A and B are shown apart, each in its own frame.
Chain A
Amino acid sequence: MYKRRMVVFNILRGLAAIILALAVAAIFIFLASDEPFEALKQLLIAPLVNFRGESAAFNVQSLYQILALMIPTMFTGLGVCVMFSADMFNLGGEGAVMAGGFVASLIAIYVPMPAGVHPVVAVLVGTLVGGLVTLIPALLRVKVGASEMVSSLMFNYVVMYIIMHYLNNVFADRSKGSTQSFPFIETAKIPQLVTGGSRLTYGFLIALVFVVITAIFMYRTRWGYQVRMIGVNPNFAKYSGMNVASTLILAQFIGGLLSGMGGAIEVLGRYNTFLWKELPGYGWTGITIAILARNNPAFVPFAAFFLAYLDRGCQLMSTHSDVPSEMIAIIQAAIFLFFAAEQFLSGARQKLVVKNAQDELAAMEAKTVQEGK
C-alpha cells in the first residue's frame, strides 16, 4: 500500500516537474513572441499533428522523424546511465560521439567491404574509439586522482580539434564549398527502416536492443550490481571485497562504447559524408535523458522520445513562428533543475508519509480492539 502510494507520488512528481518546466518555457515564449499561441501550438501539438486549414491529421512522417532523432540520444542516454550509476561524472560522452562518428566515417569512405559487413565493422570500430575517449578520464581518475569531470570536459575539446585537423587537412573533399569528407561508399550506409526522408534507420532497432542489453547488464549481472553498489556506497562496496577501481573503469568504458556506437550509427544513417564541425551535443542530451530515466536503462526510450518530441517541436516552432529553436536549451535546463530536485514537492511527500503512518496506526488500533473483544 505504502509502496504503491510512493510510486504514484513519484510519477506525479515527475509530471509536475515536466509541466512546471513547460510552463517556464511558455512564459519565455510569451515574452519573446508576437504570436505566442501559434508558437506553442507548433511546439506542443505540431510534432504529431498535421494542420491543413481547418482539418488536422496524424502526421506519420513527423513521428518517424522524432523516432530518428532518438537514435543517437538513446545511446548517449544509456551510456550516461551506466557512467553516472557509478557516481562518476564523466562528461566525455560528447567527445565519444564525435570520435565514434568520425572513425566510422573513415572506414565507410576508405575501406571497401561487402554490403552486410561494412556498416557493422565501421560501427564496431567507432564504438571502440568512443570507449577509449571516456576510458582516459576514467584512468586518470582512478590511477592519479584527477577529477574525471574536468579532464573529460577538456578532453572533449582535444578530441574535437584533432578531428577538425584531420577533417580539414587530410580527409577534406576540396571540391565542396563547405568542409566535409568524401562521400561514404554505398555499402557502408545503414539502411532506412521506412520510406520517406525521415532518416529513421535500422539504427533505431539496434538502439532498442541495446536498451535491453544495458538493462540486463545493470540489473541482472554481477558487474551491473557492482556498478550500482559503488554509486550507492563506495565504502560498502570496497569493504565487501569488490574491486572498486576496475569496476569504475569498466563502467566508464561501457559508457563511452555506447556513446561511440551512437555517434557511428547516427553518422552512417543520417548523412552521406562526415560534416560535423563541432561537438554535436548528443552527450549533453544524454545526461538529461539519464536524469529523466533516473539512471534506469528501461526508461531511456521514453525519456529520449520526450526530448526528441520537444526537439522536433522547437524546430517546427522556429520554422513556423518567430521563436528560435534554441528554446530547447531553456526547457531542458528547467526540466533538469526541477526533475532532479530531491526536495521538490517535499511537503506533499511529508504529508503522504504522515497519512500512511496514521492509516497504519488506525488499522493496528482497529485490530487490537477486535482482538480485545
Chain B
Amino acid sequence: MSGFWSTVFNAEFVFAIFRITAPILFAALGAIIAEKAGVTNIGLDGMMSIAALFGTLISYWTQSWLVGVLGAVLVGMVLGLMMGFFALRLRTDIILTGIAINMLGGGGTIFLLYMFTGLRGNTSSLSSSNILIPTVKIPLLKDIPVLGSILSGHAVLTYLAFILVFVVRFMLNRTSTGLNIRAVGENSNAARSVGISVKRVQYIALIMSGALAGLGGAFMSMYYSQSWNVGMIAGRGFIALAAEAMGRGQPVGAMLSSLIFGFAQALETRVSGIQGVSSFLVAAIPYLVTIIGLVVFVWSSKRKADKRRRQISTSDGE
C-alpha cells in the first residue's frame, strides 16, 4: 500500500495539480468578474473552446506562440462583446446567450476548423513544439529539492494564472473599474442613480471575462493538450462556474476551489493507470467533487448567514 501512496502522491503529482488548475483558474476569474457585474457568463466553456482553436491556428499561421495567445485573448474578447451585444443590446436572456456560445464551442468549432484549414476534428497535424507555450525554469528556485520540481518548470501561462488571481482581486477591490463593476452587480439601479453607465460596465466585464476565458483556452490547446481537438475543454468552463460559486465570488476563494478540482483531476490521471481501477468512474470524480464542494460551501455560507441573523435578532430583543 505504501507503494501506492508513493506512486500517487509525490512532487510530480503536486506539479500536475498546478498544471491542471491553471485553465480552470483563468475561467473562474472570468466567471467572477462577470458575476460581480451581475451577468452570469455560462458561455465560458464555449469561449474557451473557440479561443483554444484560434490560439492554435493563429500560432500556426504566424509561427509564434505569443501571437497565438494574444489572438486567443482577442477572440475571447470579441466573444464577450458578442455576448454583450445580444444580452444587453437585444435583451436575449444571458443564460440563453451563454448556451448559444457553448453550441458554437461544440459543433461550431468543428465547422470553423474545416472552414479555415479543411481539417476535421483536430489540429494535431499543425502542431510543432516551437509554437507551444514555453516553460520557464526559475533560477535558484529550480535547484531547491522537491520545492524546485514542484514550482519551477511550469508554462508561462501557469504562473500568469496565479498572478492574475491577485491582479483581479486588486482590480475589483482597489480600482474605480472594479468599484463600478461591484456597484452594478450589487444594485444596478443605485449604480445608475450615481451616474454609472450600467450597460457599459457590463460590456467591460463580459469582455474581460472573455479575455480570461481566452487565456484558459490558449492554455488548453497550446500547452495542456499540445493541439486542439473537439471536446478538449470537457466542461472546464462549467467547473469554473462552480469554482466561482464555491469561492463565493472571491478570487482567492476561487483559486482554492480550482485547486480542489485540480487535485481531483490529478488524482484521476494518476489512479486511472492502476490495474483494477475503472478509468470511467475515476473520470467522474472531478465532477462529483465539484457538486459536493458546491453544496457544502453554499450550505455552510447559508448556515453562517442564518446564525448571524439569529444573533442580530437576539441582540435586538435585549
Contact = CB atoms under 8 A, between A and B. Distances in A.
Contacts of A333: 100-101, 103-104, 108
12 contacts: A89-B95, A144-B298, A150-B238, A151-B294, A154-B235, A158-B284, A326-B111, A327-B107, A329-B108, A333-B103, A334-B100, A340-B97
A149 interface: yes
A342 B90 contact: yes
A324 B299 CA distance: 46
Contact of B295 (A144, A334, A344): A144
Do most interface residues of chain A lie in helix, strand or loop, or is the interface mixed?
A: helix
Contacts of A327: 107, 111
A332 B96 CA distance: 12
B291 interface: yes
Contacts of B299: 144-146
A53 B190 CA distance: 68
Do most interface residues of chain B lie in helix, strand or loop, or is the interface mixed?
A: helix
A169 interface: yes
Interface stretch (B148-156, B211-219, B275-283): B275-283
Interface in A142-176: 144-147, 149-151, 153-155, 157-158, 161-162, 164-165, 168-169
Contacts of A157: 234-235, 284, 287
B103 A150 contact: no
B238 A154 contact: yes
Contacts, number: 144
Contacts of B42: 149
A287 B288 CA distance: 24
Contacts of B235: 153-154, 157
Interface residues of B, number: 45
Interface residues of A, number: 45
B96 A340 contact: yes
A32 interface: yes
Given A162-B281, A342-B91, A332 B111 contact: no
Interface centre among A28, A332, A337 (most CB of B within 10 A): A337
Nearest to B85: A337
A145 B238 contact: no
Interface in B67-126: 86, 89-93, 95-97, 99-101, 103-104, 106-108, 110-111, 114-115, 120
Nearest to B104: A333
B280 A341 contact: no
Contacts of A145: 298-299, 302
A36 to B, nearest CB: 12
Contact of B108 (A149, A164, A330): A330
